[in-house]
Amino acid sequence: MEFWQNRLRCPVCGASVEKRGNSLFCTGARSHCFDFAAEGYVNLADPKEAGGGDDAALIAARTAFLDGDYYAPFADALTAYLQDVPQDGVAVDAGCGEGYYTCRFARAGRPVIGFDLSKRGVRAAAKRAKREDLPALFAVAGIFDLPLNDASVDAVFSVFAPVAEREFLRVLKPGGLLITAGAGPDHLLGMKRVLYEEPRRNTPRVDLPHTMKQIGSETVRFDMKLPKEAVATLFAMTPYYYRTAPSAARRLLCLPCLTTEAEMEIRVYRK
Ligand SMILES: C[S@@+](CC[C@H](N)C(=O)[O-])C[C@H]1O[C@@H](n2cnc3c(N)ncnc32)[C@H](O)[C@@H]1O
Ligand SMILES: [Zn+2]
């Protein structure tokens, strides 16, 4: 049996789904059908939401930067939380992008379902997992209305992505974990020092869970020495790319290398 069987549900009518041939069929009266793409992902998005999420250029930049493993200390810290997930448990990566972290979770020995509204992201993620034959399923879907049964998964990761607390609570089993991760106050301050005369520290997130019980937190800090190409791809995947004057961007992109802090905050909640 596939690891996602009895967990995924039809996004239209909520009935259970089964794989027949290269499609998912729901067991509801209307037998809704969702085809797997050649890359191995399935589109379960509400057509009203489809087409949302990150665009091709952003995904290409993120893939290029993340594949350099500059964020490896952070990825390792996240992956370590899988030790608290039962051996036969399943994790979800909500807002998985192009699956860099999702595939690391799958390599660590727990099956993972990655959801993202960006079809391009999910396609890249599915290709990545297929290359290594990892226990991962990727679906295009919005994280505020996941095509998952109630109390069906053991952990939800939310990495640099919106936090849909109510939905995560619905799909987590009792005792299941929610692991959120985002930028800390000093994240990429070295890059901001080049871009801005008065660089500001990041302000605290306002969308963190407020009803779930927080059971832990961790700040991961390290310095990154980035070659020119990695500076360009990192810059292109940050919000500063869209808000910086061209002259300041040129100043950054002309540097032969850049040393900057990375600071990520991880928070852990239990249902
Ligand atoms: C900053 S990216 C992080 C991607 C990945 N977790 C990573 O860290 O590499 C945020 C991701 O959330 C996705 N996203 C944003 N809103 C979403 C929603 N409502 N449902 C599903 N995905 C969403 C975007 O498409 C994007 O891939
Ligand atoms: Zn259905």
In-domain check, residue 135: yes
Q: What is the pLDDT of residue 57?
A: 86
In-domain check, residue 64: yes
In-domain check, residue 63: yes
Residue 121 near ligand 1, beta carbon < 6 Å: yes
Residue 133 CA to residue 96 CA, distance in Å, equals 18
In-domain check, residue 56: yes
Q: Which of 117, 122, 140, 156 to mutate to test the pocket of ligand 1 (most atoms within 8 A of CB)?
A: 117
Return the beta strands (E) in 76-171 as ranges. 91-94, 112-116, 136-140, 153-159
Q: What is the pLDDT of residue 50?
A: 61
Q: What is the DSSP letter of 37?
A: P
232 CA to centre of own chain: 21
In-domain check, residue 189: yes
| Structural domain of 235 | 17-270
Residue nearest to atom 18 of ligand 1 (CA): 142
> How many structural domains are present in the chain?
1
In-domain check, residue 3: no
Q: What is the pLDDT of residue 49?
A: 67
Q: What is the pLDDT of residue 46?
A: 76
Q: Give the residue among 78, 98, 102 at the shortest CA–CA distance from 90.
A: 102
Phi, psi (deg, nearest 5) at residue 74? -70, -45
Q: Which two tokens stand for residue 10?
A: 């039809």
In-domain check, residue 7: no
Give the CATH number, domain containing residue 97. Answer: 3.40.50.150
Residue 134 CA to residue 156 CA, distance in Å, equals 18
Kindly compute the dihedral angle of the four CA atoms of residues 55, 61, 65, 66, in this order, to the nearest 10 degrees. Answer: 20
The Å distance, Cα 133 to ligand 2 centre, comes to 29
pTM for this structure?
A: 0.96
In-domain check, residue 5: no
Is the torsion defined by CA of 147, 99, 262, 234 positive or negative? negative
Residue 118 near ligand 1, beta carbon < 6 Å: yes
CA atoms within 13 A on the CB side of 219: 10
Residue 34 CA to residue 98 CA, distance in Å, equals 21
Considering every ligand atom, which ligand is closest to the CA of 9? 2
Q: Which pLDDT tens digits describe the chain residue by residue (271 residues)?
A: 899 999 999 999 999 999 999 999 999 999 999 999 999 999 999 776 666 667 788 899 999 999 999 999 999 999 999 999 999 999 999 999 999 999 999 999 999 999 999 999 999 999 999 999 999 999 999 999 999 999 999 999 999 999 999 999 999 999 999 999 999 999 999 999 999 999 999 999 999 999 999 999 999 999 999 999 999 999 999 999 999 999 999 999 999 999 999 999 999 999 9
Q: What is the pLDDT of residue 56?
A: 83
The Å distance, Cα 197 to ligand 1 centre, comes to 30
129 CA to centre of own chain: 14
Q: What is the pLDDT of residue 55?
A: 78
Considering every ligand atom, which ligand is closest to the CA of 144? 1
